[in-house]
Amino acid sequence: MALPNTVVIIPTYNEAANIASALAQVLAIDPALSVLVVDDASSDGTPDLVRDAAGRFPGRVDLLQRPGKLGLGTAYLAGFRRALDREFELFCEMDADLSHQPSDLPALIRAVASGKADLAVGSRYLDGVRVINWPLSRLFLSYGAGIYTRM
């Protein structure tokens, strides 16, 4: 099955330790896959690493720099707007810290591209907790937010 015009939106704020690996893993999945990084004025060199990747993967990596730390929700909205302007057909979103596994993207993309679903949602809690190296406080916050959202 040919991959639809797909973009993975990755919001960042000071993710220099992770962004190169996240980009490499996502871009290795399929040569037709693109990435849009929405950066909230990182001061640790994250935008430079994204620009470097854009040079190595022409036309596949885009950087949207925002003037300050404006929040995760608005970063995704800005990314969706940019992706719509660029006429992408399918949008994926994931965290730069690799708490979302890039290797899960093909199954999510296939579910939508096959027409079996209009929306595919991955969860780190489907088969128990699939999170590594998170402090207990972050795990409780994430799990609790999921419960709250479902209610």
Span of 49-53, 66-70, 77-81, 146-150 with lowest mean pLDDT: 146-150
The predicted structure's pLDDT at residue 54: 97
58-72, 119-133, 136-150, range with greatest mean pLDDT: 58-72
Separation of alpha carbons 24 and 42, rounded Å: 20
pLDDT tens profile 55-96: 999 999 999 999 999 998 999 999 999 999 999 999 999 999
β partners of residue 94 = none
pLDDT for residue 144 is more than 80: no
Match 């300050």 to its residue by tokens. Answer: 68
The predicted structure's pLDDT at residue 119: 83
Which two structure tokens, joined as six digits, stand for 40?
A: 């909230």
Amino acid at 20: A
Total-model pTM: 0.82
Contact 1, 110 (CB under 8 A): yes
Sheet of strand 6-12: strand arrangement: 61-66, 34-40, 6-12, 90-93
Greater model confidence, 37 or 2: 37
Which residues have a Cβ under 8 Å from the Cβ of 102 and sit 6 or more positions away?
8, 22, 25, 26, 29, 94
Greater model confidence, 107 or 54: 54
Q: What is the mean pLDDT of residues 31-38?
A: 94
Separation of alpha carbons 95 and 10, rounded Å: 6
Which two structure tokens, joined as six digits, stand for 147?
A: 């419960």
